[in-house]
Amino acid sequence: MRTVHHLTLPRALHPGAWWLWALGMAVAASRTRNPVLLVLILAVTGFVVAARRSDAPWANSYTAFLKLGLVVIGVRVVLQALLSTRSQGNTVLFTLPEIPLPDWANGVKLGGEVTLEALLTALYDGGQLAVMLCCIGAANALASPRRLLKSLPGALYEMGVACVVALTFAPQLVTDARRIRAARRLRGRTRGSFRTTAMPVLEGALDRSVELAAAMDSRGYGRTAQVPRSQRRLTGVCVLLGLLGILLGVYALLTDAMEFPFAAAALVVGLLLAVSAMAVGRQRVTRTQYRPDPWALPEWLVVGSGALAAAAMITAAVRGVEGLVLAGPLVVPPVPLLPVAGILIGLAPALVAPPLQAPRRHLVAA
């Protein structure tokens, strides 16, 4: 009898793949105000986070982004109720006390009649922004900030430090808040003011920043080799132009400020310039990596699912598919097939991403 152990080795997915997938889902959310599609995107990102998140402290940041999204929707609805006019709809729900404004604020009102159409419009607009925030929250919950810093190209080490510190702020804020609440409960204090909670959180963030800077300095992070000054200037100019091209292309694709071929061309040229500058600037950095994260087939599948979701929404918008933008607030939201199929492709990471825990061993007798 021969015993064979079938064991799939777990590993963490490359953090860049999670961020590219999340950005693709955020682009898909930016192309529609249909509440059905927005809820579907939210459900897809939530399912992937629940299926592939780790036990790390930052893995709980998705819930914080959900709460932040609800706050955004509430603020948007309240402001719309205070500032809406009768021109935004005729279905009056209630009337607020109207505050008279000076003559220089003619055309703006504060209070008065609140219409159903205005509230629904605010709800859809706020929901779009909230879902985009939740997509970024999914990347924060799935990708390790430290591994993301290690995976950045060598030419971007200065920018990488600032980006990683910024990306780490939200997960660590959630971790510190939970730690402080647990400490207060252990002391028998169930209620706490904002002042007594905010100060320990800020102190912890400052301590971690100092420790991170000291650790990076002791390991020689940022040490550069001697290269000609002309090469350094050329690299900096190419990186700057590449980033500007990427920002212009992404902004044009998200806001329809430019026709699709020109926006895509600006994005492609920016990517080419940025990649070329990174390849040249890599010669300045002499640091090495210990056990770099692999980029294999699962990473390509995860990135491809996010890209297909964004491409499906962009294609539907270019072709004028009905249902991405509602004809009116009181219209029943339709369910277009192409956007729904593209969003459902975003579920692929829940299946193709490698597991974080090893499955049980199965004994097969032969």
Type of residue at 328: G
Structure confidence at residue 290 (pLDDT)? 63
Contact yes or no for 325/32 (Cβ under 8 A): yes
d(CA 20, CA 22): 5
Structure confidence at residue 105 (pLDDT)? 65
Triad 295, 346, 127: Cα angle to 5°: 125
Report H helices in the chain.
15-30, 35-52, 61-83, 116-142, 145-151, 157-186, 194-218, 229-255, 260-281, 297-319, 337-345, 349-352
Triad 286, 142, 275: Cα angle to 5°: 40
Instruction: Give the CB-side neighbour count of residue 321, counting CA atoms within 13 A.
Output: 19
What is residue 294's DSSP assignment? P
Contact yes or no for 284/227 (Cβ under 8 A): yes
Residue at token pair 């020689």:
220
Domain spans, the chain: 3-153+294-365, 229-284
Residue 99 β-bridge partners:
110
SS3 label, residue 32: coil
The pLDDT tens digits along the chain (366 residues) read 343 333 346 788 888 899 999 999 998 998 888 999 999 999 999 999 998 888 777 777 888 899 999 999 999 988 888 877 656 677 878 777 877 777 776 666 777 778 888 888 889 999 999 999 999 999 988 887 777 766 666 556 666 666 656 666 666 666 777 777 777 777 776 665 666 677 777 777 667 766 766 776 676 665 555 666 776 677 777 777 777 777 777 777 666 666 767 777 777 887 787 777 766 666 655 556 667 778 888 889 999 999 999 999 988 888 888 888 887 778 888 888 999 999 999 999 999 888 776 544 443 443
φ/ψ region of 7 (left if φ > 0, alpha if ψ in -120 to 50, else beta) reads beta
Contact yes or no for 38/321 (Cβ under 8 A): no
pTM assigned to the model: 0.72
d(CA 75, CA 82): 11
- The 3-state secondary structure of 89-112 reads CCCEEEEEEEECCCHHHCCCCEEE
Structure confidence at residue 364 (pLDDT)? 41
Structure confidence at residue 272 (pLDDT)? 81
- The alpha-carbon radius of gyration of the chain (Å, integer) is 25
Structure confidence at residue 41 (pLDDT)? 95
Phi then psi for residue 8, to 5 deg, are -90, 115
Instruction: Give the CB-side neighbour count of residue 168, counting CA atoms within 13 A.
Output: 19
Structure confidence at residue 185 (pLDDT)? 77
Q: What does the block give as tokens for 50?
A: 């629940």
End-to-end Cα distance, the chain? 6
Query: What would the DSSP string read from start to end of 336-358?
Result: -HHHHHHHHHTTTHHHHSPPSSP
d(CA 197, CA 191): 10
Structure confidence at residue 75 (pLDDT)? 92
> Within its chain, how far is the Cα of 122 from the centroid?
22
d(CA 201, CA 180): 8
